[in-house]
């Protein structure tokens, strides 16, 4: 089996995979092919490396993003090698889907090439595994042809990495169902359009106005709450996220706090503090780990009512934690959480 990870994860993963009888593919030098874009060249280099192995792998596992598995799978189909190798692709989210989700278009020839490789990869693989039914359905609706062996297998959290956080929360979550008051609303996710930053900012503004009108100046402690955005900075509406946020909140009496440099564990530790309500207002979503992490640690949250998220929520609770992803619904939902307390 082969698995491709970034340099930061290389050593730890290499040890674990060797125990399992697996091999971690090294960082590869490009085999430059004239007229072939960067993604195309990288996929071709992976094919060359796999074909050069003295002992073919039993299983090669890759994700669908950027279509790097297209050339190896094509080589197998053409009888050039790897006849005993089974290819497994995880439908993590293709570049085509990311462009769609962020309201962007393909704008250079390499993009067209990459999307073609992604489409062919999910067709040629021996097994296609998706963490949600939503992603497979999206591909089918877009006219993609999927491998015959395509099925759903939900993501799993690496429980050993959550151990220290479970110790901090006594294994039962931070607030769980204790209905403690909310003093801080935290956007949790990559700070970009697809994750719902515009919806979040507009909804918070509308909710504050609504709460002030309802209270007629009374219980101001419930109206003045901190707003935080926790996640890596990206682009919002084609503008650098920090600049977009500064302009959007320029007239706010209390500017939102942006925390973009915390590690995953430190971010979760931050969310486990009392009084924090996580908001996951994604416009489009596959099967987000942010929701799984909140569920696992008992962190109070509300989230967009999307198919990929709803699949993770128990049938008894969707109305308590899910809202339709638009500012009007979110702004009406938030005061209810302040009034009744989070789940």
Q: What is the mean pLDDT of the chain?
A: 83
Q: Are strands 150-152 and 127-130 parallel, antiparallel or unpaired?
A: parallel
* Structure-model confidence comparison of residues 328 and 102, the more confident one: 328
Longest dimension (CA), the chain: 76
Give Cβ neighbours of residue 219 (< 8 Å, ≥ 6 apart). none
Give Cβ neighbours of residue 43 (< 8 Å, ≥ 6 apart). 66, 67, 68, 69, 70, 71, 72, 117
Tokens of 151: 């099925």
Q: DSSP letter at 99? A: H
Mean pLDDT of 173-200: 79
Residue with tokens 């008894």: 316
pLDDT at 242 over 90: yes
* Structure-model confidence comparison of residues 164 and 116, the more confident one: 116
What pLDDT does residue 11 have?
A: 42
Q: In what order do the strands lie in the sheet with 257-259?
A: 257-259, 226-230, 184-188, 276-280, 301-304, 322-323
Lowest mean pLDDT across 137-146, 193-202, 286-295: 286-295
Give Cβ neighbours of residue 336 (< 8 Å, ≥ 6 apart). none
Mean pLDDT of 271-282: 94
Give Cβ neighbours of residue 25 (< 8 Å, ≥ 6 apart). 2, 3, 4, 46, 49
What pLDDT does residue 19 have?
A: 43
Q: DSSP letter at 191? A: B
pLDDT at 179 over 80: no
Confidence of residue 251 (pLDDT cuts 50, 70, 90): confident
> Which of 117, 53, 52 lies closest to 89, judged by CA?
117
pLDDT in tens, 123-171: 999 999 999 999 999 999 999 999 999 999 988 776 655 554 555 554 4
Lowest mean pLDDT across 51-55, 147-151, 301-305: 51-55
% of the chain exceeding 90 in pLDDT: 54
> Which of 83, 323, 96, 40 lies closest to 207, judged by CA?
323
Confidence of residue 322 (pLDDT cuts 50, 70, 90): very high
Q: What is the full DSSP assignment across 216-256?
A: TT--GGGT--EEEEES-B-EETTEEHHHHHHHHTTT-SSPP
pLDDT in tens, 198-210: 999 999 999 988 8
Q: Answer for the pair 137, 114: CB distance below 8 angstroms, yes or no.
A: no
Confidence of residue 24 (pLDDT cuts 50, 70, 90): low
What pLDDT does residue 10 have?
A: 40
């Amino acid at each position: 089996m082969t698995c491709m990870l970034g340099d930061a994860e290389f050593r730890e993963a290499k040890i674990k995979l060797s125990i399992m009888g697996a091999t971690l593919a090294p960082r590869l030098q490009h085999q430059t092919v004239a007229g072939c874009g960067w993604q195309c060249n990288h996929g071709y280099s992976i094919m060359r490396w796999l074909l050069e192995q003295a002992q073919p792998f039993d299983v090669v596992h890759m994700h669908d993003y950027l279509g790097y598995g297209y050339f190896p799978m094509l080589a197998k189909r053409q009888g050039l090698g790897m006849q005993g190798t089974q290819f497994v692709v995880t439908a993590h989210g293709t570049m085509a889907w990311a462009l769609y989700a962020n309201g962007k278009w393909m704008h250079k020839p390499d993009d067209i090439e990459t999307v073609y490789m992604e489409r062919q990869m999910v067709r040629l693989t021996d097994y296609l595994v998706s963490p949600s039914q939503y992603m497979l359905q999206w591909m089918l609706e877009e006219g993609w042809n999927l491998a015959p062996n395509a099925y759903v297998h939900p993501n799993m959290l690496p429980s050993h990495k959550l151990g220290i956080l479970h110790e901090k929360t006594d294994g039962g979550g931070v607030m769980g169902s204790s209905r403690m008051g909310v003093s801080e609303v935290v956007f949790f996710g990559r700070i970009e359009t697809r994750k719902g930053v515009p919806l979040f900012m507009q909804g918070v503004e509308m909710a504050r106005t609504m709460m002030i009108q309802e209270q007629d100046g009374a219980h101001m402690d419930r109206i003045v709450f901190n707003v935080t955005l926790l996640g890596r900075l990206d682009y919002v509406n084609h503008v650098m996220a920090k600049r977009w946020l500064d302009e959007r909140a320029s007239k706010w009496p209390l500017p939102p706090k942006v925390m973009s440099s915390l590690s995953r564990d430190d971010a979760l530790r931050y969310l486990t503090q009392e009084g924090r309500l996580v908001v996951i207002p994604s416009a489009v979503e596959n099967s987000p780990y942010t929701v799984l992490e909140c569920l696992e640690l008992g962190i109070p949250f509300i989230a967009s009512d999307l198919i990929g998220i709803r699949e993770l929520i128990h049938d008894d609770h969707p109305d308590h934690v899910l809202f339709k992803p638009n500012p009007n619904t979110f702004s009406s939902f938030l005061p209810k959480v302040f009034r009744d307390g989070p789940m």
